[in-house]
Amino acid sequence: MRLELREVSRSFPGVTALDRLSLTVEAGRIGCLLGPSGSGKSTALRCIAGFERPESGEVLAGGELLSGAGGWVSPERRRIGMVFQDFALFPHLDARANVAFGLRGHDRAARQRRAQELLGLVGLGAEGGRYPHELSGGQQQRVALARALAPRPRLVLLDEPFSNLDADVRTELAQAVRAALLAEGATALLVTHDQREAFAIADEIGVLRAGRLEQWDAPWKLYHSPKTRFVADFVGEGTFIPGTVLGPGRVSTELGVIEGQLTRDQSPGTLVDLLLRPDDVIHDDASELHAEVVERAFRGAQFRYTLRLPSGATALSFVPSHHDHAIGERIGIRLDAQHLVGFPRGWDADKE
């Protein structure tokens, strides 16, 4: 069911955790709030679940007002499922009883069927009789998801669902979680500080900074068209190089004239900072442009080279790992950029 937040604010002594946060997740979509720790994303989730009461603003699910000036629905009546960071499985119940915990109705067989169905959905059909301490972290995580989905909630919230898991199971599990959410037709909102998790699961991602939403967009747009420097910095890697606006969408830089998009109309002659992603900078021995390798990080399939451009500005480049260059070497590069993003020099969203 559609989730809508309208200007939700919540503060704690000394901190504004949420500052007029508005967002919408359409029914059946998976949204994500991405932000560093302390950005207010967990508070947002707790306000939606009803564990925290916002000071102002409204929370609606499927058009029903859950929290706002006109009313308050307590968490147990919201029908919002939640997957907790530490899973919060009930230690006195086995996996099946955990999943069946929130199921209502007198028909015990029906409850058991539904619990088994969900366990099957998350790939734990044979593990129903095990207790939480007998399950691995990833299995506990999937039980927690099954438990949240079982009562067919209007909305599922996932609070840093993978942060307690080993890195190698995260990606695999993230895809399993997305599949399970889609299979149940659930609307979901995830919060995380890890962009890879966000990209793996979400249809739409909002970047949160100090309680304010910087941008709400599809993952691809977030990466390629960040609206603020913070989003550009936080999502993906990259550096800025100086440039001068020549005309609409045309910027001159030391790497040549680039067709790009600008965050606001800029008159010719304005100085801008252009965002360069590592995949925008291609290693090409035939190129006339050269840059010096100042740092290299081996990543298996590729190197990430940190390059010093002739002007002294820094750029990053992903290069297939058979191109093994030493620090101090000068290598040829060219730009392959379709989505260059520029911010006016010295401009910061904070100072608006």
Partner 1 sequence: MPRAGPTVVAVAVALPMLAVLAAIAHGAGGADPALWAHLTEHVLARVVANTAILVVAVLALAVALGTALAWLTAACDFPGRGFFSWALYLPMAMPAYVLAFVAVATLDYAGAVPTALRAWFGADLSVPPIRSTAGVIAVLGFASYPYVYLMARGAFLTHGARVLEAAQSLGYGPWAGLIRVAIPLARPWLAGGAALVAMETLADFGAVSVFNYDTFTTAIYKAWYGLFSVETALALALLLLGFVAIALAAEQVARGRGRHTAADAGRGAPVRLALTGARGWMAFAFAGAVFAFGFLLPVVALVRWALAVAPIDLDARYVSYILRTLSLAGMASIACLALALVLGYANRLSSGLLPSVAARIATLGYAVPGTVLAVGVVTVLGGVDGAVRSLAGGEGLWLQGTVLALLLGYVARFLAVAYGPVQGGFARIRPALEDAARSLGLVPREILTRLHLPLLGAGVGTALLLVFVDVMKEMPITLMTRPFGWDTLAVRVFEMTAEGEWQRAALPALAIVAAGLLPVALLTWRMERAARTA
Q: Of residues 77, 108, 330, 345, which one binds partner 1 by CB under 8 A?
A: 77
Binding residue for partner 1 (CB under 8 A) from 10, 41, 111, 147? 147
By CB under 8 A, is residue 59 in contact with partner 1?
no
- 63, 92, 105, 286: residue in contact with partner 1 (rule CB under 8 A): 92
Task: Candidates 115-123, 144-152, 268-276, 280-288: pick the segment binding partner 1 (CB under 8 A).
Answer: 144-152
Compute φ and ψ for 179, nearest 5 degrees.
-60, -45
- Interface with partner 1 includes 51 (CB under 8 A)? yes
Q: Is 54 a binder of partner 1 (CB under 8 A)?
A: no
Cβ proximity to partner 1: between 159 and 217 the closer is: 159
Which of 28, 38, 75, 236 is in the footprint of partner 1 by CB under 8 A? 75
Identity of the residue numbered 103: L
Q: Measured from the CB atom, is 150 or 331 closer to partner 1?
A: 150
Interface stretch with partner 1, choices 32-40, 86-94, 175-183, 224-232 (CB under 8 A): 86-94
347 binds partner 1 (CB under 8 A): no
Site for partner 1 in 162-191 (CB under 8 A): none
The reply to whether 53 sits near partner 1 by the rule CB under 8 A is yes
Q: Going by C-beta distance under 8 Å and a sequence separation of 6 or more, which residues neighbour residue 271?
A: 242, 243, 244, 245, 344, 345
Q: Does 148 sit near partner 1 (CB under 8 A)?
A: yes
Residue 312, interface with partner 1 (CB under 8 A)? no
Backbone φ, ψ for residue 43 (5° rounding): -60, -40
CA 93 vs. chain centroid, Å, equals 32
Residue 86 sits in the site that holds partner 1 (CB under 8 A): yes
- Contact stretch for partner 1 (CB under 8 A) within 76-84, 168-176, 208-216, 297-305: 76-84
* Amino acid (1-letter code) at residue 113: R
**Distance in Å, CB of 54 to partner 1, minimum:** 12
Q: What's the distance, Cα to Cα, between the start and end of the chain in Å? A: 35
Question: Is residue 161 part of the contact set for partner 1 (CB under 8 A)?
Answer: no
Residue 78 binds partner 1, judged by CB under 8 A: yes
Q: Which C-beta is closer to partner 1: that of 104 or that of 264?
A: 104
In angstroms, rounded to a whole number, what is the distance separating the alpha carbons of residues 222 and 225?
Answer: 5
DSSP H or E run through 121: helix 108-121
CB nearer partner 1, residue 92 or residue 351: 92
**CA–CA distance, 191 with 119 (Å, rounded to integer):** 24
Rounded CA-CA distance 150/166 in Å is 26
How many Cα atoms are found within 13 Å in the side-chain-facing hemisphere of 17? Answer: 19
Task: Please give the Cα distance from 297 to 102 (Å, whole number).
Answer: 48
Residue with tokens 């990543």: 299
| Count of residues engaged in binding partner 1, rule: CB under 8 A | 27
- Residue 101 touches partner 1, criterion: CB under 8 A: yes
| Nearest distance in Å: CB 202, partner 1 | 21
Which of 237, 236, 201, 205 shows the shortest CA–CA distance to 219?
205
Structure token pair of residue 218: 């599809």
Residue-by-residue DSSP string for 158-207:
EESTTTTS-HHHHHHHHHHHHHHHHHTT--EEEEES-HHHHHHH-SEEEE
Q: Which of 31, 81, 226, 243 binds partner 1 (CB under 8 A)?
A: 81
In sequence order, what are the residues at sequence separation of 6 or more whose Cβ sits closer than 8 angstroms to the Cβ of residue 46? 52
Asked whether 305 and 338 are in contact (CB, 8 A), the reply is no
Judged by CB under 8 A, the residue of 14, 104, 109, 322 near partner 1 is 104
106 binds partner 1 (CB under 8 A): no
Chain residues binding partner 1 by CB under 8 A are 49-51, 53, 74-82, 84-86, 88, 90-92, 101-102, 104, 147-148, 151, 157
